[in-house]
Structure 1
């Protein structure tokens, strides 16, 4: 077989959305190639020339025994280890004899009315059959006894693609899967910028942008959680692309644990993009006939700036990921007692705080840490003992009754994945923690991590959490996780299967969450991990909002909320107005600015209303009163970031729905002798008219071309808001 014959397509599969297309080809050799990912092409467009017209540039020529055939030049769809493709594989499987050589070739393809969801993992809800389009593409290595099925979905409504992979052992001996990514795609160019979202506790989701360069680049997590320091997301953008112009592609993993988001640029200026489980310490045993399923990866692309892919993700996750009952429900205004009382509270204090909250118009009272066990008065005790401290509370049901008489919902804080050494749970089950038998387990934040990979631990958590929610009239649960995984060993698995522990922890967590949330569908859950340490799509499948960061300083939150909202819908970002000076930064920010920033997402208050003077309480009441009529637009309206004159000192954004346009602007530091500029709205309906608060009416074209005038701020940290109602 000559090279040109070997590179001929024998199959081409086109998955199409409203504006985009993913095309996959099968060569005469059986290799499966990533042909095209971009704007829709005319139906029936043949793409084989992408392969056959490829110029010669390679080191390993004449591979596969075919003259002038170069596997390492080809854009392979799901590459493996051991062939003459010398780039990073998507899959590695170790056989009994230690060999990791795997040669996958095309076996079959089936068009699907509906793509099945990944087993035991959070994923997008299935689309209606009439809107669904999917492909099950199966590759096999019959010599080893492995089949790999890529389940690929095209969502025409949201202009997105999704993929997960099922690896099956079809042989007679056990195999070890040591790398199994959810998505891999080879682009025949490296002319792009890579954008990732990194940071730390209190500085989550900061965008980092750099041009692709030869070698490996990207982010990952090895903490047992997606992490404060990184997001399971990568973006490729044209070098000139910004929010409003240029082509971009983004990929996000629906998973809450260790991940890898990576781009490899090879010596031929090609870019291999990969996303999935982190293979660090990963080793999954596949017995004969057993299967392993990867998390789902979601891919969005567009040509009208970064805003296009951001909007695709926000709308997709609202419609198909967040729990349906809460996804489009306006979020109540919360008062959380933590910054008001910390551990020092009793029933009288809590009820007094709730009365103040009701008086200023807040709607949900959340009892944070310190309510449970025999005496949870600091961080060192009782975690794991999920029963009310009746003496401290005066009876949980009695407390809930008093708060609900005030017209407030009631919520409660839990941290079920961890246990205090000084607790009944640890005393009864010291073997339930993750620990190595030869070392003293590491305490972190005075806790150990429970071994959620064990069914008996999962069953216990399901039982006690269901009992808590069955026995008490609770409307909301804040689910926290305040440490990462250490001492990684479990007696529940044999030595050769210890590499499964990290992923089994997540599978156990998801089983518990699924069991508890499905048993109590009326209870809203909020995720938290010491702030944004596990803000990811996996958690959003169970918790329709997540605490965005422990840093509640309004100015610091601007960048955190901007980065987090690139993928996730604003109503999923839990944001609170907190005390000043701020605990994390020491900054004193005006209440109006703190409110404007918190109202970006699911707004709440976390300050000591009992210590506020009457003037401050009146200001809070006025803010709350002004917010409620705008809440639907602020939480569910389409988000756009607006161009500002000085992007190092200003943030501006708009929220838009069918009836209302809201524009917010925050100026960080005042500067002398400057003339403030104008803000131009984005993407208003053609020929629409908009009425301002002063009664003036503006055409959409005026607001987009001329904009609104920013008043010169008098002082630092000043915010402004414009509200327009559509009159035509």
Structure 2
């Protein structure tokens, strides 16, 4: 709800279900940020506005009429350079006379209702009940207007912000920076959390104390990047998963982004978010305007889980769109790690037949199907089937796969071009490179210039032809390199600072056109895994490949990272072969499934070469997942410390756990009648039998049945210990050992309890004893390195 009190210097109050955001127009015309936090009763600014009698020493006084005001020591909704605020600015403009001072003061406001999901080429949130406040500021000296646009989503406790700059003057101006949001917080002890990494190790959470230095999270790769995701958090020190004040911020944008936190000499903390100003410049002619990407912010007093739940709800309700928004996603098999580029119709069909046998619903043909694509040096841009591999083309193999009862999908990388391709030979000017100068490449490919409308039209036309050439149900849209030598031949020299943003606008036009033209295709975003995992992509594609790394141990950390800001229905995760193709690590096939099942489940392994035991395991996994799919894809997700987090490890005291060793997740249906919990450890703890599971999100007064998933283990995992019980000596890895293991499997311990929700959440479910070298039977929990368990929870009908 938006409330406005007063006329010439109004007080603006933005309330959601559980939060309040307040700001006040000052006598100077600046807008003071008053408060953002848990919902409060507020009918005036009394007690909230800062009291200033004199400006701090050596600071700049705003004007003789306001000798007590120094903008450097004010909490502002928007900041600029030139009038005394030396902190990092919200806006930086080169005026027509070359000066760089901006003084944007309050002019008026307007209210409206409803948000349609996109404006001026940028995707935005959407919702009929969204309340919108537009506050207009004006720089009279330089004939510039700035609109600060606030959108309130009461149902998810989210407020979004965008800004629009309008040139009302007669000459051109240049925008050097224009942020999407700014919040100036009161002095406090804050922690800035970012999610950074690189290829195959995305979304590593890092917590940094907000001291006097400026902390920056940004990308300069041409995409939102695996180096620094645009989702960040600002929390009070001591905040936990379940307790404490935390703010979550994100950006509906897929290009170079920027988030910074800075503590002023007076203790105030400024947060900024928007397009990365590095190398950015936008020429704005008379009468033109520039709109920034939408920034998303939410606050919770119930810790990181509380904040995450609000972000998840917002993304699910107000970002995701189209027929697949709420539709259950199919279990797929991707051909990449089974075949890489070495595909053929006969080889793919053998794989598809195995996929059908184990319960797969969607078969995806990955790279290698087009042009002369036998490695990554050629053919990007030549989007026609290689008939040597696919004699019947796309339609031929699609029809055969569908005849098995499977849906059919393909991989594409439309934004890229190979030098060794017909497209580059025909249109070298469409590639992003600086004419006459050497070019640095990545993965033997070049970026197509999507700032050029001709290139956009070409991609739309070519992909339309591909997508309509067969009954294609799924498209994996990849993008495998960062930008270099950024230049567009479609723009003049004085507008090259606009290239990266115009590229993203072009990309959005292409995606919007194709997703609207092919609404029934399930599009999955991918950019070398998590190189472009952001709300901009999710505005068109309902799911994104979380990482090219399918190792379960790494994926547990990566998916935990994503879960802070993104619902798990957006994160795709696959079970792959072992040793893992990215790490060469061996993890149990059940652990690989347990981790992947908390995203949108798929498989990326060679089922043709898989052992019967593993095929049986996959068949059982898929059957179980289908039974619980709705809960796992669309339930409420929670993180918690794991079952053994109080047990020591080598090098640690008994009171100090091994950092990052344990993962515990719970996902709960909307009506709280069903839930699934998972526990996983990286390294086992010696002589640590005890374990307690504490699911989250259950109804306290409801009685549930919790049960461990039925599994079997290979006897050979116990190695030479078999001789402790065997009547004859069995040599490890011998034919005798393999034969015994073939016919005798170790069953997982039986775990079955009836408990109330509050008992499970607060007292915990005390699990069966884990193996601790002192004996073993079928009632014990076999929990080795990379061990995990899945527990299903169902309401008991009285």
What TM-score, normalized to structure 1?
0.96
In structure 2, relative to structure 1, the CA distance for the partners of 1:40 and 1:671 (3 Å cut) is closer
* Aligned equivalent of 1:288, options 286, 289, 309: 286
CA shift, 1:402, in A, is: 0.8
2:414 alignment counterpart? 416
1:75 alignment counterpart? 75
- Report if the CA contact (8 A) 1:196-1:218 is conserved: no
In structure 2, relative to structure 1, the CA distance for the partners of 1:568 and 1:298 (3 Å cut) is same
* Aligned equivalent of 1:666, options 666, 680, 684: 680
In structure 2, relative to structure 1, the CA distance for the partners of 1:9 and 1:706 (3 Å cut) is farther
C-alpha distance in structure 2 between counterparts of 1:49 and 1:640, whole Å: 35
**1:260-297 CA distances to partner (integer Å, 9 max, x unpaired)?**
01011110011110000000010101010001000000
C-alpha distance in structure 2 between counterparts of 1:681 and 1:55, whole Å: 54
C-alpha distance in structure 1 between counterparts of 2:489 and 2:133, whole Å: 40
C-alpha distance in structure 2 between counterparts of 1:182 and 1:513, whole Å: 23
CA shift, 1:668, in A, is: 1.4
* Aligned equivalent of 1:139, options 137, 140, 144: 137
CA shift, 1:61, in A, is: 5.2
**Higher-Rg member (1/2):** 2
Is 1:390 the counterpart of 2:404? The answer is: no
In structure 2, relative to structure 1, the CA distance for the partners of 1:54 and 1:571 (3 Å cut) is farther
1:298 alignment counterpart? 296
Unmatched segments (≥5 aa) in structure 1: 1-7
- Report if the CA contact (8 A) 2:81-2:92 is conserved: yes
C-alpha distance in structure 1 between counterparts of 2:483 and 2:767, whole Å: 48
**1:359-387 CA distances to partner (integer Å, 9 max, x unpaired)?**
000010000001111x1111111101111
1:336 alignment counterpart? 334
1:63 alignment counterpart? 62
Unmatched segments (≥5 aa) in structure 2: 1-6, 646-656, 708-750, 771-781
In structure 2, relative to structure 1, the CA distance for the partners of 1:387 and 1:353 (3 Å cut) is same
- Report if the CA contact (8 A) 1:193-1:211 is conserved: yes
In structure 2, relative to structure 1, the CA distance for the partners of 1:309 and 1:551 (3 Å cut) is same
Is 1:698 the counterpart of 2:695? The answer is: no
Is 1:542 the counterpart of 2:540? The answer is: yes
CA shift, 1:121, in A, is: 4.2
Q: Which secondary structure does the structure 2 equivalent of 1:114 belong to?
A: strand
Is 1:439 the counterpart of 2:437? The answer is: yes
Is 1:310 the counterpart of 2:308? The answer is: yes
2:108 alignment counterpart? 108
* Aligned equivalent of 2:255, options 231, 254, 257: 257
Paired residues for 1:431-470 under 5 Å: 431-470=429-468
What TM-score, normalized to structure 2?
0.88
**1:12-50 CA distances to partner (integer Å, 9 max, x unpaired)?**
011110011111110111111111111222141434642
Is 1:377 the counterpart of 2:374? The answer is: yes
Aligned-residue RMSD, C-alpha: 1.6
1:724 alignment counterpart? 793
In structure 2, relative to structure 1, the CA distance for the partners of 1:578 and 1:117 (3 Å cut) is closer
C-alpha distance in structure 2 between counterparts of 1:701 and 1:613, whole Å: 43
- Report if the CA contact (8 A) 2:332-2:360 is conserved: yes
1:401 alignment counterpart? 399
- Report if the CA contact (8 A) 1:15-1:133 is conserved: no
C-alpha distance in structure 2 between counterparts of 1:643 and 1:715, whole Å: 18
CA shift, 1:9, in A, is: 8.6
CA shift, 1:560, in A, is: 0.4
- Report if the CA contact (8 A) 2:18-2:38 is conserved: yes
CA shift, 1:115, in A, is: 4.8
In structure 2, relative to structure 1, the CA distance for the partners of 1:719 and 1:95 (3 Å cut) is same
- Report if the CA contact (8 A) 2:701-2:756 is conserved: yes
C-alpha distance in structure 2 between counterparts of 1:58 and 1:569, whole Å: 48
Paired residues for 1:42-61 under 5 Å: 42-47=41-46, 49-52=48-51, 57-60=56-59
C-alpha distance in structure 2 between counterparts of 1:516 and 1:238, whole Å: 43
1:97 alignment counterpart? 97
Report the count of equivalent residues. 718
- Report if the CA contact (8 A) 1:655-1:662 is conserved: yes
* Aligned equivalent of 2:765, options 661, 686, 708: 708
C-alpha distance in structure 1 between counterparts of 2:124 and 2:118, whole Å: 9
Q: Which secondary structure does the structure 1 equivalent of 2:63 belong to?
A: helix
CA shift, 1:525, in A, is: 0.7
Is 1:676 the counterpart of 2:690? The answer is: yes
Q: Which secondary structure does the structure 2 equivalent of 1:63 belong to?
A: coil
1:247 alignment counterpart? 245
1:3 alignment counterpart? none
C-alpha distance in structure 2 between counterparts of 1:705 and 1:193, whole Å: 28
C-alpha distance in structure 2 between counterparts of 1:325 and 1:18, whole Å: 28
CA shift, 1:123, in A, is: 3.5
C-alpha distance in structure 2 between counterparts of 1:327 and 1:29, whole Å: 46
Q: Which secondary structure does the structure 2 equivalent of 1:390 belong to?
A: coil
1:168 alignment counterpart? 166
Deviates more, 1:254-263 or 1:393-402: 393-402
- Report if the CA contact (8 A) 1:58-1:70 is conserved: no
CA shift, 1:683, in A, is: 2.9
1:223 alignment counterpart? 221
CA shift, 1:343, in A, is: 1.1
- Report if the CA contact (8 A) 1:61-1:67 is conserved: no
